[in-house]
Homo-oligomer: A and B are copies of this chain.
Amino acid sequence: MAPSRPTIKDVAARAGVSKSLVSLAMRAPDRVSPARLTSIRAAADALGYRPNAAARNLADRRSFTIGVLVQDLHNPISAEVIDGVQRQVRASGYHTMLVTGSADADLERGEIEKLLEFQVEGLIIIGHRMPAGARAAVDGECPTVIISRAETGILGLDSISNDDVCGARMAVNHLYDLGHRRIAHITGGSNQVALLRRAGYEAAMNSHGLTANIACYEGAFTDDGGYRGTRLALASPSKHSAIFVANDLAAVGALAAIAENGRQVPEDVSVIGYDGMALGALRSIGLTTIAQPLASMGADAADLLLQRIGDPSRPPAHVNLEPRLIARTTTSAVSR
């Protein structure tokens, strides 16, 4: 019932040649005579031959595959980064093997282990968390690039990130240019990324001479975090005319808090987020935001990785891409 897939040997037999020639025909068609080539090809698809990757990888001692660990598949941001990675990886004749991380560090480690067992030639980690166990395992064994916003070059790995400090300044500058002075910040918690964005906010405020107006409210990178932080901000005596929220998801939460408070966006309060997730572009939301160049980050990561595969001794590089402002409808000039 299970005639098990035909092998190169079967093809050879049917075409009346040696298996070596079949192998050659597959890899370098121009090195076998046209006549043989034809009959080999005929035999191959008469039999429905499909090369066995395991055997090929074993013999080649390489897999032409690069592994991608996505820590949070639910984050819509991941999809875009993956697109970028795939496009670039494919263009170089490599193939991609995707694996999802999870809160469970052991599972995550297991996934990486699998990837390594499969002899991936490189690893791309998408997410801002360095898989704990994986670090050691990966280190020095397999070229790795981490796409994240944090851990800037702390490890000896290549990394790609967006420039959070710069992005945060862009956000503040945008509001400043619109005439806002009482600009509050809803933080994203105490993780690396959130701290950088906060630092950028403070730096920009300072450079505009608005040191006295700096006001940070505790939030988180979630709908709820933004909602709660914003309630705090609205309750404060200082009447903020604009709010820079640590990420888009939280900014959407901020919108809810503002509406609940009976104020209008952007008439009473302007809101700007960070990330550029597709969600913000929806008509009902129209969130102004600082967009990370997600696809580029993916593509650059792939480039970096391929370079390192080519030259493992190259010193680790850290690429920090500049995000860009997308002005939509949640920000407007301050009203007198």
Interface, chain A (partner B; CB < 8 A)? 1-2, 4, 48, 50-55, 57-58, 61, 63, 73-74, 76, 79-80, 82-83, 86, 90, 95-100, 107, 113-114, 116-119, 141, 223-224, 227, 249, 252-253, 255-257, 259, 278-279, 281-285, 312-313
Contact = CB atoms under 8 A, between A and B. Distances in A.
A182 to B, nearest CB: 23
Given A54-B118, A54-B119, A98-B100, A283 B253 contact: yes
Contacts of A1: 312-313
A119 B53 contact: yes
B113 A50 contact: yes
Most buried by B among A2, A4, A117: A117
A16 B2 CA distance: 40
A105 B4 CA distance: 27
Contacts of A95: 114
B255 A53 contact: no
A221 to B, nearest CB: 14
Contacts of A52: 58, 117, 119
Given A86-B100, A312-B1, A252 B54 contact: no
B259 A53 contact: no
Contact of A283 (B79, B82, B227, B282): B227
A117 B53 contact: yes
A281 B279 CA distance: 13
Given A52-B119, A54-B119, A97-B97, A284 B313 contact: no
Contacts of A281: 223
Nearest to A254: B284
A253 B227 contact: no
A54 B64 CA distance: 13
A24 to B, nearest CB: 18
Nearest to A281: B223
A73 B79 contact: yes
A80 B74 contact: yes
Contact of A74 (B63, B253, B256, B278): B278
B61 A58 contact: no
Given A53-B117, A53-B118, A253-B282, 13 more contacts: A1-B312, A1-B313, A50-B117, A52-B117, A54-B118, A54-B119, A58-B58, A86-B100, A98-B98, A223-B283, A227-B283, A249-B282, A257-B283
